[in-house]
Chains A and B, each alone.
Chain A
Amino acid sequence: EAGVVQSPRYKIIEKKQPVAFWCNPISGHNTLYWYRQNLGQGPELLIRYENEEAVDDSQLPKDRFSAERLKGVDSTLKIQPAELGDSAVYLCASSFPRSVAFFGQGTRLTVV
C-alpha cells in the first residue's frame, strides 16, 4: 500500500518568489494535515482538512500561505511571497477520522 506522497522533496527559491507543495494522501484517508517543522523542533500544525473542508487553519499565516484540497483527495500548500524565515520542512500527513496520522517524507524548503 502506498504511503503519503509529497513532492518535491527539496526546493530552493529566492525570497519573494512563490512556491507550492503537493501531497497525495493514503487512499481512503479523509483527514489531511500540513505541518511545518523548523530545524531542531517538532512539527507544528498549519492546517487540517476533513475531506475538502479546512476545519483548523488557526496556525496558518494567511497573509502569505494558502492551501486547498480539491475533491477531498490531493492537497497543495502555497507560499507567496516566500520569506527567509519560511525555510523549513513541510510535512503532509493523513488519517482516518480521529485515528493515527501517517506522514510523508516532507518537502525541505530553503529560501535564500
Chain B
Amino acid sequence: AQKVTQAQTEISVVEKEDVTLDCVYETRDTTYYLFWYKQPPSGELVFLIRRNSFDEQNEISGRYSWNFQKSTSSFNFTITASQVVDSAVYFCALSEADTGGFKTIFGAGTRLFVKA
C-alpha cells in the first residue's frame, strides 16, 4: 500500500538558517514518482519537483536541494539560507501507476516558519 510520512509537523527557523524537511514513503511498485509541493497562505499548491524511481541523482535548484535515497525510502528537501518568503506548508507526495493513470497520495505536510 502507498504511504507518505512527514514526521515533522512544524519547523521554526531564523532567516538564513538551513532547514531540511523529511519525507519517508512506502510503496510496492518499482515504478513511481515523488513530488514536493509548496502551499503558501494563498492556498494553491505550487509544484517544486518531480523525481522518478529510477533516477536517484540528487538535484539542486537555487537554494533548494533534494536528496532521494531508495535504500531508506526517503526523499528529503533542504532549503539553504532560508528566507521569510519560504514560510509555507510543504507536502511530499507519491504517485504510483494505477488503472488508467497514476494515483497520487500526499503526506500530512510540514509547516515551515521562517522568522526575520
Which chain A residues have a beta carbon within 8 Å of chain B's beta carbons? 3, 31, 40-45, 48, 50, 55-56, 89, 91, 93, 97-98, 100-106, 108
Contacts and interface: CB of A to CB of B under 8 A. Distances in A.
A43 B106 contact: yes
Consensus secondary structure, chain B interface: strand
B101 A56 contact: yes
Interface string B31-69: 000010100001111110010000000000000000000
A45 B94 CA distance: 12
B43 A43 contact: no
Contact of A43 (B45, B46, B99): B45
Interface of B: 4, 35, 37, 42-47, 50, 91, 93, 98-109
A88 to B, nearest CB: 12
Contacts of A42: 4, 91, 93, 105-109
Nearest to B37: A103
A108 B43 contact: yes
A29 to B, nearest CB: 12
Nearest to B91: A42
Contact of A56 (B35, B37, B50, B100): B100
B47 A48 contact: no
Contacts of A43: 45, 91, 106
Given A42-B105, A45-B103, A48-B100, 13 more contacts: A40-B108, A42-B93, A42-B108, A43-B91, A44-B106, A89-B43, A93-B45, A100-B47, A100-B50, A105-B42, A105-B43, A106-B43, A108-B43
